[in-house]
Amino acid sequence: MKIQIKNAQIITMDEGRVIKNGCIRIHQETIAYVGTETAPEEEFDRAIDARGAIVLPGLVNAHTHAAMTLFRGFADDMTLESWLFDHIFPAEDKLDQEAVYWGSLLACAEMIRSGTTLFADMYFMNESTIRAVIESGLNANVARCVTGMNTEYRNGLEEAKELYTEYHGAQSGALRVDFSAHAVYTCGRETLRAVAQAAESRGAGVQIHLSETMKENRDCYRQYGKSPTEVFRDMGMFENPTNAAHCVYLSENDMDILAENHVGVSHNPISNLKLASGVANVKEMLEKGICVGIGTDGTASNNALNVFEEMKTAAVLQKGMRLDPTLIDAQNALEMATVRGAQILGRGGERGQIKKGLRADLIILDSDSPNLWPVYHPASTVVYSANAGDVVTSIINGKIVMENREMLTIDMEKVKAGVEKSLARMDI
Ligand code: NI
């Protein structure tokens, strides 16, 4: 399919270039042209007049657990320990493939509506999430999350290997399969080593949780005499392209280790605030040259998959904590949610920018939204003024998946019925 989008204010995320009255042409899955010249409309299957609206790369959610939409609002306002061990883990024991499918599809619907086109997912029963991703038309890095203080990780790791063989690179590369060890407090040495080796022998990426809470660090020092970052490094995890979520409690030395090993960090400001875990030192991480993306975490701890909210929070939080309004400017925040997010998911040079030759993942905002006018600096408008509901059209891999806020790949009535049936069956 050939698509042309004209009269757009294009935020390319390509060296800060913004094009007023710009035009984008898409051939099949790829961006074929970005510039100011409009071609005759009869050459295209679809001609979209953006009417001056902002067009930007689709947003990247660098850390989530999609199927946890089922537990949205289920256990709020408690400590991470109690939330996870007393509520979430017991509820997750009741999940089945069908429930994970509907929960994931609900997540995909929410992500499409709020402008996300690529996400990193760390969970289990992943075939069901993959089914939802394929149906919805999204891009995802899906990882079978492995836990186990002793040898109980083995079945999970076998599943992860099978998943990789079956789906890595599927759907013309829309899908990637990563490996995942949940965290140092849920995985023993052997587990960490085995996951690291499985990824390394395949050249795969890994997703982990790292230094989310002060307690995690304290317990890790007690057990290993070193920080979680040092433990992961010593078990060989960072030999692989790694996406480390949270990183709230990093020492100077930990940051140096992450920088040296090119570990990407997904910053989850709202989840960290809601669970009162703390605030990551994004400023220092960026100064060390660490690639930082933005994630929502799962909806049981956020409770939304809204990257717009995360971008604004990430920016204002660093400013407020450090009493410095120049920290994390709008362009930086938008980079974290687009080009840098794509990079830490191993998709750099493939997605995250509106640039000729890259995959056509882009979103169009509402040209009539009162909160989006006037526009002095488009990045500032997106980060500080836009809402998730301002996304009207979403194109992923050159396919229109939402137009004028109508989702074309997902039937919300069916999703709601499927989720309700799953929750009734699970009896939670
Ligand atoms: Ni998480």
pLDDT of residue 138 exceeding 90, the answer is yes
Spacing, Cα 209 to ligand 1 middle (Å): 6
* Dist. CA 243 → ligand 1 center (Å): 11
The chain-wide mean pLDDT, for the chain, equals 97
| Sign of the Cα pseudo-torsion (179, 183, 184, 185, in order) | negative
Ligand 1 centre from 245 Cα, in Å?
A: 7
Q: How far is CA 208 from the centre of its chain?
A: 13
Q: What is the mean pLDDT of residues 117-121?
A: 98
8 A C-beta contact, residue 372 and residue 378: no
The Å distance, Cα 242 to ligand 1 centre, comes to 14
Q: What is the mean pLDDT of residues 345-374?
A: 97
Using 50, 70 and 90 to split pLDDT, how confident is the model at 421? very high
- Please name every residue paired with 140 in a beta bridge, in sequence order, or none if there are none: 119, 175
State in Å: Cα 406 to ligand 1 middle: 30
What SS3 class is residue 21?
strand
Q: Which residues pair with 117 in a beta bridge?
A: none
State in Å: Cα 183 to ligand 1 middle.
Answer: 10
Query: 401 CA to middle of ligand 1, Å?
Result: 27
CA of 355 from ligand 1 middle (Å) equals 31
Comparing CA positions, the residue from 140, 114, 116 lying closest to residue 128 is 140
How far, in Å, is the centroid of ligand 1 from the Cα of 322?
25
State yes or no: pLDDT of 193 exceeds 90: yes
Q: Residues with Cβ < 8 Å from 261, sequence gap 6 or more?
A: 233, 238, 242
Q: How far away, in angstroms, is 342 Cα from ligand 1 center?
A: 18
| Angstrom distances, CA of residue 224 to CA of 188, 194, 235 | 11, 18, 12
Residue 83 confidence class, pLDDT cut points 50, 70, 90: confident
**Residue 79 binned pLDDT confidence (cut-offs 50, 70, 90):** confident
Within 10 Å of residue 218's Cβ, how many Cβ atoms?
Answer: 11
pLDDT digits (tens, 9 = 90+) for 35-51: 999 999 999 999 999 99
Residue pLDDT, tens place only, 222-252: 999 999 999 999 999 999 999 999 999 999 9
Contacts of 290 (CB under 8 A, 6+ apart): 255, 258, 259, 263, 264, 265
- Rounded distance from Cα 360 to ligand 1 centre (Å): 28
CA 264–ligand 1 middle distance (angstroms): 15
- For residue 382, report the distance from its CA to the centre of ligand 1, in Å: 25
Residue 64 and residue 133 in contact, taking contact as beta carbons nearer than 8 Å:
no
Q: Are 341 and 352 in contact, with CB atoms under 8 Å apart?
A: yes
Q: How far is CA 274 from the centre of its chain?
A: 18
Query: If you measure from the C-alpha of residue 34 to the centroid of ligand 1, how many angstroms do you get, rounded to a whole number?
Result: 36
Q: Is residue 81 scored above 90 in pLDDT?
A: no
3-state secondary structure 222-237: HHHCCCHHHHHHHCCH
Taking the C-alpha atoms of residue 175 and residue 129, their distance in angstroms, rounded to an integer, is 11
Between the CA of 211 and the centroid of ligand 1 the distance, in Å, is: 11
Task: State the distance from the centre of ligand 1 to the C-alpha of 185, rounded, in angstroms.
Answer: 13
* Residues that place a CB less than 5 A from ion ligand 1: 297
Taking 90 as the threshold, does the pLDDT of residue 317 lie above it?
Answer: yes
What is the residue-wise DSSP string for 234-297? HTTGGGS-EEEEE--S--HHHHHHHHHTT-EEEE-HHHHHHTT-----HHHHHHTT--EEE---
Ligand 1 centre to CA of 127 (Å) is 19
CA of 225 to the centre of ligand 1 (A): 24
The CA 398 to ligand 1 mean position distance, Å, reads 30
Q: Please check whether residue 19 is in contact with residue 6, taking contact to mean a CB–CB distance below 8 angstroms.
A: no
Q: How many CB atoms lie within 10 A of CB 146?
A: 27
Closest residue by Cα to residue 354 from 35, 70, 56: 56
Buried b (16+ CB within 10 A) or exposed e, 360-384: bbbbbbbbebeebeebeebbbbbbe
Of 47-51, 82-86, 413-417, least confident by mean pLDDT is 82-86
Distance 295 CA to ligand 1 centre (A): 9
DSSP 137-201: T-EEEEEEEE-BSSSTTHHHHHHHHHHHHHHTTTTTTTEEEEEEE--TTTB-HHHHHHHHHHHHH
Kindly give the distance from the C-alpha atom of residue 3 to the centroid of ligand 1, in angstroms, as a whole number.
37
pTM of the model: 0.98
pLDDT of residue 113: 98
Q: For residue 217, report the distance from its CA to the centre of ligand 1, in Å.
A: 16
CA–centroid distance, residue 351 to ligand 1 (Å): 23
CA of 376 to the centre of ligand 1 (A): 36
Residue 123 alpha carbon to ligand 1 centre in Å: 9
| pLDDT given at position 68 | 97
Mean of pLDDT values over 343-358:
98
CA of 297 to the centre of ligand 1 (A): 5
